Amino acid sequence: MDVLISPDELALRLSGGLPEVSGTAAERTRILDVRWTLNEPDGRAAYRAGHIPGAVYVDLDTELSDHTVSGRGRHPLPTPAALQGAARRWGLHPGDTVIVYDAWNNQAAARAWWLLRAAGLQDVRLLDGGWPAWKQAGLPVETGDPVPGAGTVCIDGLDHLPSVDADTVAERAASAGHVVLDARAAARYRGDEEPLDPRAGHIPGALSAPTSDNLTGAGTFRGAEELRRRFTDLAGATPVTVYCGSGVTATHQIAALAIAGIEAALYPGSWSEWSGDPARPAATGPDPG
């Protein structure tokens, strides 16, 4: 699985420097701007002020989540039909190469990466370093509103990547044959603080593995070998399941695992779903149990 693309390689594609069998690389490349953070969930103003030429803005809260669902955490997954409608608005067609980026070390863009891969799109990549890396490279910038697309991509399910429910993640966290990774910051894992969800702590048996440790100081992903060592030290050769606060940054962890050559399942409801159920236990402190 090709997970990443560099700014220079994307610029080369957009310039038509990478011809393909059917059409040019530029014609078959779609770019999605997924700028979102907890503090600034609406990234439209930032998008209008400057974005990669041809990029379409994607709203994580309304297009990559389904807030009509209750009891499934802060960012429930969208239905396949809703995701298809959004992907067509973005102008996606079968066979496209889709590049996603944000300005938050790809921690929001990874949600779009995971969803589109789960929907069966074959070539979806994260722009390594995101918007800051594009600007630092001095590459072209476009301003203004997006032009609506008219794509034809078909999505009939989200089963091309594995995901699990709360009961399954509970079984896996208690099993010696699985490893469950908590991708949140270590302070939230320990229960020192909980600014967002009903209770502090972590799923009993889960290991702390903050997404920040996937990155270099420049905000790019660490190399494949370095990531492989990180996750092998944590999980050995056992199957991996990942969760975070609401199923967003956990997808960044899954992307890092994919770079390392390790498949992992997502628990979409994550801690926001788990902690909202009083029947589910919570552990605190630095240890899993």
Express each pLDDT in 27-71 by its tens digit: 789 999 999 999 999 999 999 999 999 999 999 999 999 999 999
Q: What is the mean pLDDT of residues 172-193?
A: 97
Q: What is the mean pLDDT of residues 90-107?
A: 97
Evaluate whether residue 143 is within a structural domain: no
CB burial readout 124-152, b (16+ within 10 A) else e: bbbbbbbbbbbeeeeeeeeeeebeeeebe
pLDDT-derived band at 289 (thresholds 50, 70, 90) equals confident
Domain boundary among 136, 158, 174: 136
Is 154 annotated in the active site?
Answer: no
Q: Would you state the pLDDT for residue 17?
A: 64
Say whether pLDDT at 20 is over 90.
no
Please report the sign of the dihedral spanned by the C-alpha atoms of residue 169, residue 174, residue 179, residue 180: positive
Domain boundary among 120, 136, 152: 136
Give the whole-angstrom CA distance, residue 153 versus residue 30: 12
* More confident position, 13 or 17: 13
pTM over 0.75: yes
Residues 171 and 222 in one domain: yes
Say whether pLDDT at 19 is over 60.
no
Domain hosting 200: range is 166-274
Q: What is the mean pLDDT of residues 15-25?
A: 61
Say whether pLDDT at 22 is over 50.
no
141 closest CA partner among 47, 3, 37: 47
Q: What is the mean pLDDT of residues 148-159?
A: 94
Determine which one of 83, 170, 244, 260 is catalytic. 244
Give the CATH number, domain containing residue 75. Answer: 3.40.250.10
Answer for the pair 242, 161: CB distance below 8 angstroms, yes or no: no
Token pair 């594995």 is at which residue?
Answer: 162
Q: Would you state the pLDDT for residue 152?
A: 96
Residues 104 and 175 in one domain: no
Give the whole-angstrom CA distance, residue 126 versus residue 110: 7
Say whether pLDDT at 89 is over 90.
yes
Tell me the pLDDT of the chain averaged across its residues: 95
pLDDT-derived band at 118 (thresholds 50, 70, 90) equals very high
Q: Would you state the pLDDT for residue 147?
A: 79
Token pair 């420049």 is at which residue?
Answer: 218
Q: What is the mean pLDDT of residues 269-281?
A: 98
How many domains does the chain fold into?
2
Residues 29 and 87 in one domain: yes
Residues 132 and 197 in one domain: no
Residues 9 and 120 in one domain: yes
Q: Tell me: the pLDDT tens digits for 223-264?
A: 999 999 999 999 988 999 999 999 999 999 999 999 999 999
Q: Would you state the pLDDT for residue 27?
A: 73
Residues 9 and 114 in one domain: yes
pLDDT-derived band at 21 (thresholds 50, 70, 90) equals very low
Q: How far is CA 228 from CA 72, 234, 259, in A?
A: 31, 10, 8
First to last CA, the chain: 34
* More confident position, 23 or 5: 5
Say whether pLDDT at 7 is over 90.
yes
Q: Tell me: the pLDDT tens digits for 207-220?
A: 999 999 999 999 99
Residues 112 and 18 in one domain: yes
Evaluate whether residue 147 is within a structural domain: no
Residues 195 and 266 in one domain: yes
Q: What is the mean pLDDT of residues 171-179?
A: 96
Q: Would you state the pLDDT for residue 136?
A: 98
Residues 116 and 173 in one domain: no
Say whether pLDDT at 23 is over 70.
no
Residues 91 and 15 in one domain: yes
Q: Would you state the pLDDT for residue 121?
A: 97
Residues 189 and 236 in one domain: yes
Evaluate whether residue 97 is within a structural domain: yes
